[in-house]
Amino acid sequence: MALIVQKYGGTSVGDLERIANVAGRVQASRDAGNHVVVVVSAMSGETDRLLTLAKAIGDVPPPRELDVLLSTGEQTTIALLAMTLEARGCPARSYTGAQVRIQTDSAHNKARILSIDHQTLCRDLKEGYVAVVAGFQGVDPQGSITTLGRGGSDTTAVALAAALDADECQIYTDVDGVYTTDPRMVQTARRLDRLTYEEMLEMASLGAKVLQIRAVEFASKYKTRLRVLSSFEEGPGTLITSEDEIMEQAVISGIAFNRDEAKITILGVPDNPGIARQILGAVAERNIEVDMIIQNVAQDGNTDFTFTVHRNDLQRALEAVHKVAAELSAREVIGDDKIVKISLVGVGMRSHSGIASLMFGALADEGINIQMISTSEIKISVVVEEKYLELGVRALHDTFELDKPPAEG
Ligand code: ASP
Ligand code: MG
C-alpha cells in the first residue's frame, strides 16, 4: 500500500462545491488502495481577509495573536473537508497543526518546523481513516500556535511527507504542472514531465511561483518526490525529484524571469581593498538583499560597480549608496528600475558547453543588449531592458527548442 500526501491550495478549496471535488479525488486515491493524508490551505481569500481584520485594529498586530487568528482559516477547511468525506462514506479525521504536534520554533508569522509526531496519523491510517491536516500552522514549545509564512501549506505537506516517509507528495493547484516558461507569455510553452529539485528552486526563486521555495528545499533535503498537478483537470502533472530518477534529461529545462529587480551603478569608484564591503555593507545594514553583483576591471585606479536589488528597495538602497559614493568621491550613481532578469535553467548545462554563447547569440539576433550576466552551474542569467522581456524569452524558447520534448536517452 502506498502512502500519499495530497495538498490542496486555497483556490482548490474555495467553496463547498470545490471541497466536494477535492473529497472526490481523495476518495478515489483511497479507493485505489492508498493511505492518504490531506493537507489543506484556507479557502481562497480567507487569509487575506483575516489579515485585513487584524490590521484594522492596529498596523502591527501582536505576532502571537495574529497566528491565532490566521490559523483559523485552515481550521475551517479541515473540518469542512472531513465532514464532506464522512458524508460520502469515507472515514476521515481532521487535525490542527498543534494536534498532530507539528512542533515549530517561536518565530511567530514565519515559524520553522522542528519535528512532527506522526504516531496519531499512522494509527488513523492503519484504522482506515483519511487524515486531514491543517497546513501553514504548528505549535511552539510554549504551546502557542504558530504559522509558517504565506504559502506555508506547501511546506506542511512536504514536511509531513518526509516525516511519514510517504511515497509521493502531491501538490494540487490551479495549474497542471510546471512549464518551460510562463504559458501566458509563450504560447508554445510545454508542461515538463520531470524536473530536478535544483531546477525547481531556480525556476521558483526566479519568479515561476508555483511552489513555496522552502517546500522545495525541504523536499530536496529529504528526497521526497513532489508532484505538482491541477485539482481541476486530470493529468500527470510535473514530478520534481532527484537527478538520478530522471532518464531523459534535456540540456535546458526552462526559462524563468523576474520583473521585480532594479539596478544600481556606481561609476568612478577608487579601486581599493574594501570598497565592495563599504558599498554593499551600507546596503546590507538596511536589510536590503542584493542579487547580482558586477565589478569592472579598473582603469586609471578607478572602477565601476553594479548590483541589483528588489524594486521595492531601490529608493532606500540608493540613499545608502549616495552616502557611500560621497565618502568615496565616486563620479556618479545611477538607479534603473526599467530592467528584467531572464534566466536559462537546466542541470544539463553541467555537461554541455556552448550554452552561454548560444543564449547570447539568440539575444543579439533580436537586437537585445545584455547589461549584466551571471552564471551558476545550472543557470545563466542576464539583465536586459524591460521592454525586451517578451521578445527575449520567446527567442530563447525557440532557440533551445523548448516546445519539443527531450529525446529519450
Ligand atoms: N493560507 C496561507 C496563505 O494564504 C497558507 C497557504 O495557503 O499555503 O498564505
Ligand atoms: Mg499557496
Indicate which residue's Cα is closest to atom 8 of ligand 1.
Answer: 151
Q: Does ligand 1 come within 6 angstroms of the Cβ of 150?
A: yes
Cell of 374: 551571471
Mutate to test the pocket of ligand 1, among 39, 40, 41 (most ligand atoms within 8 A of CB): 41
- Beta bridge partner(s), residue 270: 302
Q: What is the pLDDT of residue 159?
A: 96
Q: What is the pLDDT of residue 409?
A: 46
Question: Alpha helix locations (H) across 195-313?
Answer: 197-205, 213-222, 275-285
Cell of 138: 504548528
Indicate which residue's Cα is closest to atom 9 of ligand 1.
Answer: 150
Mutate to test the pocket of ligand 1, among 43, 153, 174 (most ligand atoms within 8 A of CB): 153
Q: What is the pLDDT of residue 208?
A: 59
Q: How far is the CA of 70 from the centre of ligand 2 (A)?
A: 14
Indicate which residue's Cα is closest to atom 6 of ligand 1.
Answer: 151
Of 306, 309, 311, 305, the residue nearest 288 (C-alpha): 309
The residues near 206 (Cβ < 8 Å, ≥ 6 apart) are 256, 257, 258, 341, 343, 345, 381
CA gap 278, 23 in Å, rounded: 57
CA gap 334, 308 in Å, rounded: 12
Q: Are strands 261-270 and 332-336 parallel, antiparallel or unpaired?
A: antiparallel
Q: Does ligand 1 come within 6 angstroms of the Cβ of 151?
A: yes
Atom of ligand 1 at shortest distance to CA of 153?
8
- pLDDT by residue for the chain (409 residues), tens only, comes to 899 999 999 999 999 999 999 999 999 999 999 999 999 999 999 999 999 999 999 999 999 999 999 999 999 999 999 999 999 999 999 999 999 999 999 999 999 999 999 899 999 999 999 999 999 999 999 999 999 999 999 999 999 999 999 999 999 988 899 999 999 899 999 999 999 999 999 988 665 567 888 899 999 999 999 999 998 899 999 999 998 777 667 889 999 999 999 999 999 999 989 999 999 999 999 999 999 999 988 888 999 999 999 999 999 999 999 999 999 999 999 999 999 999 999 998 988 889 999 999 999 999 999 999 999 999 999 999 999 999 999 999 999 999 998 765 4
Model pTM above 0.95: no
Atom of ligand 1 at shortest distance to CA of 150?
9
Q: What is the pLDDT of residue 248?
A: 64
CA gap 209, 311 in Å, rounded: 18
Contact criterion met (CB below 8 Å) for 344 and 252: yes
Q: What is the pLDDT of residue 305?
A: 94
Q: How far is the CA of 116 from the centre of ligand 2 (A)?
A: 21
Atom of ligand 1 at shortest distance to CA of 9?
7
Atom of ligand 1 at shortest distance to CA of 149?
9
| Per-residue b or e along 326-351, where b marks 16 or more CB atoms closer than 10 Å to that residue's CB | eebebeebeebbebbbbbbbbbebee
Which ligand places an atom closest to the C-alpha of 209? 2
CA gap 364, 372 in Å, rounded: 14
Contact criterion met (CB below 8 Å) for 30 and 62: no
Atom of ligand 1 at shortest distance to CA of 156?
8
Atom of ligand 1 at shortest distance to CA of 10?
7
Q: What is the pLDDT of residue 353?
A: 85
Q: Does ligand 1 come within 6 angstroms of the Cβ of 40?
A: no
> What is the Cβ-side half-sphere exposure of residue 362, based on CA atoms within 13 angstroms?
20
Q: What is the pLDDT of residue 94?
A: 98
The structural domains of the chain, with segments of one domain joined by +, span 3-173
Q: What is the pLDDT of residue 326?
A: 95
SS (H, E, C) 47-99: HHHHHHHHHHHCCCCCHHHHHHHHHHHHHHHHHHHHHHHHHCCCCEEEECCCC
Q: How far is the CA of 7 from the centre of ligand 2 (A)?
A: 10
CA gap 216, 198 in Å, rounded: 9
Q: Does ligand 1 come within 6 angstroms of the Cβ of 97?
A: no
The residues near 264 (Cβ < 8 Å, ≥ 6 apart) are 306, 307, 308, 309, 314, 317, 318, 321, 333, 334, 335, 336
Domain 3-173, CATH: 3.40.1160.10
Q: Does ligand 1 come within 6 angstroms of the Cβ of 237?
A: no
Q: What is the pLDDT of residue 206?
A: 63
